[in-house]
Amino acid sequence: MIRADTMKHHWRDHIEALTGAILIALAFKAFLIEISRIPSASMQPTLMGTPQLQVFDRVLVDKLSYHFRSPERWEIVVFKHPLERSRNMVKRLVGMPEEDLKIQYGDLWTRKDPTGNWNILRRPRAVQEEMWKAVGLGESSLSAWRTVEGKGWNLRGDSIAARGNGVARYRPGEESIDNGYLHGYPDGIRKELGVRTDRLEWRAVGDLRLSGTVVANSGCQEVWFDLREGSKRYRFSIPGPAAEADARIRILAWDSTADSSASDSPPSPENGALHISEGPVRRLEADESFDFAVQNLDDLLELELDGDWVCELEVEPVVEPRSSIYIGQVGSGADFDELLVERDIYYLNRGKSRVTIPSANYFVLGDNTQDSADSRLWERSGYRWTDEWGAKREVLGNWRPGENPATSPDGRLFFRDVWGERHEIPDNAEELQDKENVGLVPELLIHGRALATFWPIKPSLDLYRVGWLH
């Protein structure tokens, strides 16, 4: 026979255990880790939110670190929207306290002294690796490359078998590589979404990266890659097995005319028109595969060979960055494989593109600058009216036409204020004409940083969204 006091004791144990578990879970969520769902494409490709395909990244959010330190530049932060306090946002932090920030030529620039020179912002390599956007689709057997000089070249998909002197160009029929909306999406997603024809503020993009593998024949003297930006030509030269024993890896930069041929040699260095940076004495070895990458990023040219960054050259900004990419070979031949063209983010000059950031405040942007409501675009506005008792009323909130204010099916007008309260706006209300840009996020509204994605996993779309975030 079970005594009544024993039964009460067991029930109390269960209740205490359940209460303790709830308290621990609440404390864990409040101070350590929470899960956030990405609802839109504003951070693509770093974070995916595609309502058309019901693909939404789930993100682990670290809520502990910022109790001990301030946010750092380039971190992906989770914060309360300054004009919609009931709404959590996820963006990349780009502007720091007590500095000037501007968007120009598609890049970010900063300075500490209001009378000083502007300096371009460059991301750490780990961050940049996540922000490159693949330009071409990978499923086609047709090559986007075309031979423009020479014969005996075979081009298929992402491979080129070059025999004899010659030059190939990437997408020669296009005016420039641009900021395509679907660049950076996984191939499975892009095929399902189709081609976007409504180019949102089309821009030619000059910050490019070409990577792949190269295998040189014994008679190959040189392989080179041109990244062109406006009238500027940037050549990345790697000596082949047949080059002189003391040949060096080099980067060359010069101006060229629009009608110059693809394989034109650089001008003589004596006249000052040619800028050269020399890397180590190094040649490709015959019939051995080498990984390579060449890039023009934030006015810095860099060449990577088998995992080592071996050469770099600073260049001047280009105002009109219409771009193209060429591959050249001198000698008996070389094979290029796994060719991948990627572009950097081109930050659009929308809304507030220059700002002075006060202390304890930050400026944030989405990685998908074409489709992100971020610090550039937040506007505070609302309505003012006199109510039926003669009192002056004013409602302020995040002004987003079509969403806030919004019209109900029966024709009534509603506006949601900063704190999330929904107000019906009377007919005698006056819309405030001065829209104030509020593009700063106070530090007290930032409550975490995105650590990693762990979902979704959709093999049908070749989609595996698992990994750390930078």
Q: pLDDT tens digits, residue range 28-48? A: 455 555 777 888 888 988 898
Beta partners for 214? 290, 336
Whole-number pLDDT of residue 32: 54
Structure token pair of residue 124: 């750490």
Q: What is the pLDDT of residues 68-113, one digit of tens each?
A: 999 999 999 999 999 999 889 999 999 999 999 999 999 999 999 9
In the structure, what pLDDT confidence band is assigned to residue 460 with cuts at 50, 70 and 90?
confident
CA dist., res. 279 & res. 301, Å (int):
12
The answer to whether residue 232 scores a pLDDT higher than 50 is: yes
Number of neighbours of residue 174 by Cβ within 10 angstroms: 13
Q: HSE-up of 233 (CA within 13 Å, CB side)?
A: 24
| pTM: predicted TM-score of the whole model, two decimal places | 0.87
CA dist., res. 437 & res. 378, Å (int):
6
> By mean pLDDT, which of 39-53, 80-94, 319-333, 412-426 is the weakest?
39-53
Whole-number pLDDT of residue 7: 46
Q: In terms of Cα–Cα distance, which of 14, 67, 381, 343 is closest to 183?
A: 343
What would the mean pLDDT of 428-437 be, rounded to a whole number? 90
The answer to whether residue 234 scores a pLDDT higher than 90 is: yes
What would the mean pLDDT of 43-58 be, rounded to a whole number? 86
CA dist., res. 21 & res. 28, Å (int):
10
Query: ∠ CA(199), CA(203), CA(206), 5° rounding?
Result: 135
Which H or E element spans position 55?
A: strand 55-56
The answer to whether residue 147 scores a pLDDT higher than 90 is: yes
> One-letter amino acid identity for 153?
W
Percent of the chain past pLDDT 70, that is, above it, reads 88
What would the mean pLDDT of 109-134 be, rounded to a whole number? 93
Most confident of the ranges 130-144, 168-182, 331-345: 331-345
Whole-number pLDDT of residue 185: 84
CA dist., res. 249 & res. 222, Å (int):
10
284 vs 49: which has the higher pLDDT: 284
Q: In terms of Cα–Cα distance, which of 347, 342, 217, 339 is closest to 284?
A: 217
Handedness of CA 81, 87, 88, 91 (dihedral sign): negative
CA dist., res. 99 & res. 18, Å (int):
50
Whole-number pLDDT of residue 268: 72
The answer to whether residue 235 scores a pLDDT higher than 80 is: yes
Q: What is the pLDDT of residues 5-33, one digit of tens each?
A: 544 555 555 465 455 545 444 444 555 55
Q: What is the pLDDT of residues 439-459, one digit of tens each?
A: 999 999 999 999 998 888 888
Whole-number pLDDT of residue 89: 92
Q: What is the average pLDDT score of the chain?
A: 88
